[in-house]
Amino acid sequence: DQQVKQNSPSLSVQEGRISILNCDYTNSMFDYFLWYKKYPAEGPTFLISISSIKDKNEDGRFTVFLNKSAKHLSLHIVPSQPGDSAVYFCAATFGNDMRFGAGTRLTVKP
């Protein structure tokens, strides 16, 4: 059962513009959400997270928004840089249970 979904397998944006990656979940018990970035031949790297008691968390160019009523979260990258090109996974946790989406491949064009 896919409790975490990333419906866009790929996204292409121009350097300097905003990248918005989306993620939906179905299990209302999830209480912590994370975004990971993955380069080829490497494991996923933790990027940013948000607790279910918040609706926004910002870290430099990266901001995660959480809409609990819609069971939706998004990652905004502003401004996008070519080095941001990677596969981005969203993940949701409840206790020890962590579920991942299938990932979105972001390409930032110079």
Partner 1 sequence: DAGVTQSPTHLIKTRGQQVTLRCSPKSGHDTVSWYQQALGQGPQFIFQYYEEEERQRGNFPDRFSGHQFPNYSSELNVNALLLGDSALYLCASSLAVLAGGGTDTQYFGPGTRLTVL
Chain residues that interact with partner 1, rule: CB under 8 A: 4, 6, 32, 34, 36, 41-46, 49, 89, 91, 93-103
For 54, the token pair is 């918040």
Bridge-based pairing state of the strands 86-94 and 62-67: unpaired
From the CB of 88, what's the least distance to partner 1, in Å?
10
From the CB of 15, what's the least distance to partner 1, in Å?
27
Q: Is the dihedral of CA 56, 26, 34, 76 positive or negative?
A: negative
**For partner 1, which is the closer residue by CB, 37 or 71?**
37
Is there a contact between 14 and 73 (Cβ–Cβ < 8 Å)?
no
From the CB of 102, what's the least distance to partner 1, in Å?
5
**For partner 1, which is the closer residue by CB, 43 or 83?**
43
**For partner 1, which is the closer residue by CB, 38 or 79?**
38
Q: Alpha carbon of 31 to those of 25, 45, 84, 107: distances in Å? A: 11, 20, 27, 30
